[in-house]
Structure 1
Amino acid sequence: MNSQYYLTEVDKDPKSIFCYYNLKGENFIELHSHSKGQFLYTEGGVVFIKTNTSEYYLPARHYMWIPSHVKHAIYPSSPKVIMKNIYFPENLNSADFYKKEGIYPINNLLMELLLFTANWKGDITSGQKNKFIIFNAFKAILEESFSTSLPIELPHPKDGRLIAIVNYLKESIHEEHLLPKLAAKFSMTDKSVYRLFKKDFGMSYIKYYTQLRIFKSLEYLVNSDHNISEIGSMVGYNSLPTFSNTFTKVMGKRPSEYRKSNEIYA
């Protein structure tokens, strides 16, 4: 699908609810925005969503809410990824949930509604009474049932020194990078690197580095046949228990449980 589709059709009727399901095989959807808020659900892999401030990792069986007018680009991790999108008109009186970016696990009720509406496509208007009511109910359920947003995002570095450090960490994710050795490589002190991360990201080096490794492992878990021990090693962990326990602490489930949940619904 031409990415211009997202810049024209979605907002053509400002009062409609617009749906497009089963986007599959997309490699990249360029930076764009909508005057409508976007519900983005994914199956079969990880989707990377980049905004002006952060990079989000949307795992399978989760959804992201993207508020209206937020510029974002979308990168599916694999051609196997399926995306389902519903765009809702902006409401100035909307609850706080709709005003901020967030990633949430999908619940059974929302999943059933997605399956029920699987063949619906394009503009859903008030003239299509039953369909319009169902999607408005869907939006109300989002507001009523959401839990705390999962912190599956990494901020973009601004400082030139930090950009170089982050790029190095990403390029050599298979190695373990202890702070003293990392600082020495960039001719900095431990304290200088620590302060740089806190000032630019508002988090410690250890927290950022841990999240980077775990988020990268999500991609390996759903897009490769490597066993969990191998995946731990691929993101720099020498110990399977350490990797598994850290993954569970960050993601709320064990790597094996996450891999099993990565099924595609019809």
Structure 2
Amino acid sequence: MLNSKSFEEKYYIKNVDADEKSIYCHHDLMGEHLIPTHQHKKAQFLYTEGGIIHVTTETHTYFLPARHFLWIPANTAHSIHTSSENAIMRNLYFPQNTNEHEFYSIEGIYPANDLLLQMMLFTNRWNGHLKKGSRHYTIANAIKAILPEICTAQLHLSLPFADDSRLKNILLYVDQNLGEPILFSELAGRFGFSERSLYRLFEKDLRMSFIQYFTIRRILKAMELLLDKKLSVNEVAQAVGYNSAPTFSNTFFKVLGQRPTEYVNGVEILRKEET
């Protein structure tokens, strides 16, 4: 557990907002499993590789897959959790301007296309404050400027928190049994609900249906297993409760916009291009 002094000395607390007008750049190993809850006056562009990354805000827990980035608006409290201290974080922190595009005020996950990846690769050896008027600032600011143009489809790779204690227990059970066929009727009966009342609870507390939650949770788990590379695609499908590999592939495509094999082949692209 970090003590208050060490936490205050971390770059994301001490340095990011030290110069309010600069773009702050930080590319490095994460170095820890948890970055505690904090916030910046600047918006954050976060791209990661080499580990499973979860980002928790006040309303959602996001799973950040390879070849995607998370946009965190200015003054948004968040914590970052990872499966490995060796995960690489590539961060650009942008000052907030008046009359900005609506894109910059909404947190969300977006795929990083080849153009964006190449521009991020160009910033690879930068660190610290990029002063306004400098060449590096101009290039970094161009990355920000193109985001509303190329990021037209946000991925719904987040799951809301449950406020109701009964629903929290149900979601814990679901998480522990992702590989099993869970019927909604049996789930309701197990926890003493009618199907209708449990359906209403999901809609009221999570603003999504059970099948929406269950599908996203399965795909998020599948992405973790695919990145771990210990199981084949077919084995991953079975591990998250799909008896049919084509059905799993089609569901994965609907959520992520790419097939499981495409996702596996596309991970860590920046690292590969550096070697």
Q: What is the TM-score normalised by the length of structure 2? A: 0.91
The corresponding residue for 1:208 is 213
Q: Distance in 1 between matches of 2:261 and 2:32?
A: 27
Q: CA deviation at 1:105?
A: 0.9
Q: Distance in 2 between matches of 1:107 and 1:3?
A: 34
Choose 245-254 or 66-75, whichever is displaced more: 245-254
The corresponding residue for 2:243 is 238
The answer to whether the aligner puts 1:73 opposite 2:74 as a matched pair is no
Cα deviation, 1:139-169, whole Å, max 9, x if unaligned, reads: 1122332222111111111111111111111
The answer to whether the aligner puts 1:162 opposite 2:170 as a matched pair is no
The corresponding residue for 1:104 is 110
The corresponding residue for 2:194 is 189
Tell me how many residue pairs correspond in the alignment: 265
- Residue pair 1:44, 1:263 contacting (<8 A) in 2 also: yes
The corresponding residue for 1:125 is 131
Q: CA deviation at 1:179?
A: 0.4
Cα deviation, 1:174-219, whole Å, max 9, x if unaligned, reads: 2221101111110111111111101111111111111111111111
Q: Distance in 1 between matches of 2:124 and 2:251?
A: 36
Q: Distance in 1 between matches of 2:247 and 2:104?
A: 37
Residues 1:173 and 1:40: Cα distance change in structure 2 (over 3 Å): same
SS, match of residue 14 in structure 1: coil
Cα deviation, 1:44-93, whole Å, max 9, x if unaligned, reads: 34311111111111110111110011111111233443210000011122
SS, match of residue 219 in structure 1: helix
The answer to whether the aligner puts 1:175 opposite 2:175 as a matched pair is no
The answer to whether the aligner puts 1:26 opposite 2:28 as a matched pair is no
Deviating beyond 4 angstroms after TM superposition, the runs of 4 or more aligned structure 1 residues are: none
Give 5+ residue unaligned stretches, structure 2: none
Q: Distance in 2 between matches of 1:79 and 1:176?
A: 34
Residues 1:22 and 1:115: Cα distance change in structure 2 (over 3 Å): same
- Residue pair 2:222, 2:240 contacting (<8 A) in 1 also: yes
The corresponding residue for 2:101 is 95
- Residue pair 2:29, 2:85 contacting (<8 A) in 1 also: no
Q: Distance in 1 between matches of 2:52 and 2:269?
A: 13
Q: Percent identity?
A: 46
Residues 1:79 and 1:115: Cα distance change in structure 2 (over 3 Å): same
Give the counterpart letter for 1:135 in structure 2. Answer: A
- Residue pair 1:213, 1:235 contacting (<8 A) in 2 also: yes
Q: Distance in 1 between matches of 2:87 and 2:250?
A: 27
SS, match of residue 91 in structure 2: strand
Choose 235-244 or 189-198, whichever is displaced more: 235-244
C-alpha RMSD over aligned residues: 1.7
Q: CA deviation at 1:253?
A: 1.1
Give 5+ residue unaligned stretches, structure 1: none
Q: What is the TM-score normalised by the length of structure 1? A: 0.94
Give the counterpart letter for 1:257 in structure 2. Answer: E
